Amino acid sequence: MDLRPTCHIDTYGCQMNENDSEILLAYLEELGYTWTDEVSEADVVMINTCCVRESAEDRAYGRLGELKALKAQRPELFIGVAGCMTQQPGVADAMAQRYPHVNLILGTHNLRRFPDLFSASRTRALPLVDVAAEPEEMPVFPRGVRQGGVSAWVTILRGCDKRCTYCIVPYVRGREMSRPVAEIVSEVEALVREGVREVTLLGQNVNAYGKDLPGGGINFATLLFALDEVDGLERIRYTTSHPRDFTQEMVEAIAQTRKVCEHFHVPVQSGANHMLRRMARGYTRERYVDLIERIRQAVPSASITTDLIVGFPGETEEDFQATLDLCKQLRFDKSYTFMYSPRKGTPAADFPEQIPLALKKERLARLIEVTDHLSRDANERAIGTEVEVLVEGISKKNAQRLMGRTRHNQPVVFPGDPAWAGELRRVRVLRTNTWTLGGEPL
Ligand code: SAH
Ligand code: SF4
Ligand code: F3S
């Protein structure tokens, strides 16, 4: 029986945050802890927060409230809060006041200090708050602990230098800092030695990779070519792309490399130039359409997915129609749709002409009707085709089936031998549900 103390980490937010949680777990394992799925049994519970929308914050606050009862039963329980929420002005201190049962409140810039802060805050009666200003240079982290599997996340740059008027990320994640190519390549090589076959390169804006690196001449395309050479690695994914920084050189690099998948997640946010300008996205609808056309020309089998915001301040019915119209024109394979959520400290939160909640909800529902229809169409087009699947293992929903993903990142369920985990298999697609494909191995 394993007698080591246990830890659990709840993650809200994007893949960058998921990757930070893996780094937190690496620190906790070094300190002798082992993972548990059960919050109620854990000796250490960390909450890694997100503040990109109000709904994400509400979930973290809800969790903190629930943990209060657990702490009352087990006073030795350690509770820590990390992530983007704590980095907003005044939030960490307010949290410490409202949730005195928390041991540690940690910002995004001092994750490196977690082991020291953990020891310092273990036995304190009141929360230890440590939210630092931005680091001068990119800190070096231990490699995150993955929960098994053939796929891993690799952060290539932190922060964001864009200032989209709705977005809180630049305020809580700081400016862009890239990791050196050699450091990323050696991390990927080490992952491959441990059985990883697919990496997803992470950054708020991966297309800005390298701009801050000394010497110049290094960009996202350079990095893709370097990683394409890693023996034993089968697939490279990346997220998120920014349309403004997506150069033709990068489009061609993706077309020329074998391992980089034909899936482009390129958030457009709105189809109306008037909205794009007010969001300060730095491109027009026409430039975005041109980018997608160039992608489809270079990579004819490309799958294109996007993010959309409805109800941004000043959005008229006509602006909203322009978004619906763009979706139909470009036929996105999948869209992530959001209602605009005002974030304190961002310019758009103070714009006049905020859209009433009821209208935002109505537009979101109308948008989802269109985007869901397009996604179903995209899945149906896959029926009868032969796809390359990276087998992840036994399906969670059906133990008689295997689960894997296509190069387009669509989940596929099919019968086969569990020993195929980690292998590439050809599968014929026979049917589709809304998000999952079903098929037979060839
Ligand atoms: N760096 C990435 C992802 C940012 S957050 C990018 O720039 O694309 C992921 C998505 O959340 C964004 O693309 C946007 O669609 C949405 N989002 C960001 N801030 C938001 C806000 N205040 N309200 C609603 N959605 C928002
Ligand atoms: Fe959330 Fe954005 Fe932070 Fe990711 S970077 S955790 S989406 S606020
Ligand atoms: Fe940056 Fe993306 Fe926002 S590029 S400013 S995080 S929407």
pLDDT digits (tens, 9 = 90+) for 313-361: 999 999 999 999 999 999 999 999 999 999 999 999 999 999 999 999 9
Atom 19 (ligand 1) nearest CA: 167
- Do residue 253 and residue 310 come from a single domain? yes
- Do residue 310 and residue 369 come from a single domain? yes
For residue 339, what pLDDT is reported?
98
For residue 145, what pLDDT is reported?
82
336 C-alpha to center of ligand 1: Å? 10
Q: Is 348 in the pocket of ligand 1 (CB under 6 A)?
A: no
Residue 221 in this model has a pLDDT that exceeds 90? yes
CA distance 112 to 136: 13
For residue 394, what pLDDT is reported?
93
| Domain limits for position 398 | 386-441
Q: Is 160 in the pocket of ligand 3 (CB under 6 A)?
A: yes
pTM value?
0.94
Instruction: Count the domains in the chain.
Output: 3
- Residue 212 forms part of a structural domain: yes
Structural domain ending residue among the three candidates 380, 401, 424: 380
Residue 434 in this model has a pLDDT that exceeds 80? no
Residue 368 in this model has a pLDDT that exceeds 90? yes
- Do residue 101 and residue 178 come from a single domain? no
Q: Is 47 in the pocket of ligand 2 (CB under 6 A)?
A: no
Which tens digit of pLDDT belongs to each residue from 266-316? 999 999 999 999 999 999 999 999 999 999 999 999 999 999 999 999 999
Mean pLDDT for the chain overall: 95
CATH number of the domain where residue 76 is located: 3.40.50.12160
Which tens digit of pLDDT belongs to each residue from 42-75? 999 999 999 999 999 999 999 999 999 999 999 9
For residue 424, what pLDDT is reported?
95
Of all residues in the chain, the percent with pLDDT exceeding 90 is 92
For residue 136, what pLDDT is reported?
82
Residue 213 in this model has a pLDDT that exceeds 80? yes
For residue 246, what pLDDT is reported?
98
For residue 172, what pLDDT is reported?
96
Structural domain ending residue among the three candidates 361, 380, 399: 380
Residue 236 in this model has a pLDDT that exceeds 90? yes
- Residue 366 forms part of a structural domain: yes
- Residue 394 forms part of a structural domain: yes
- Residue 359 forms part of a structural domain: yes
- Do residue 299 and residue 266 come from a single domain? yes
Pocket test for ligand 3, best of 205, 269, 276 (most atoms within 8 A of CB): 205
What is the rounded (10 degree) CA torsion for 63, 132, 239, 25? -60
Q: Is 167 in the pocket of ligand 3 (CB under 6 A)?
A: yes
- Do residue 258 and residue 396 come from a single domain? no
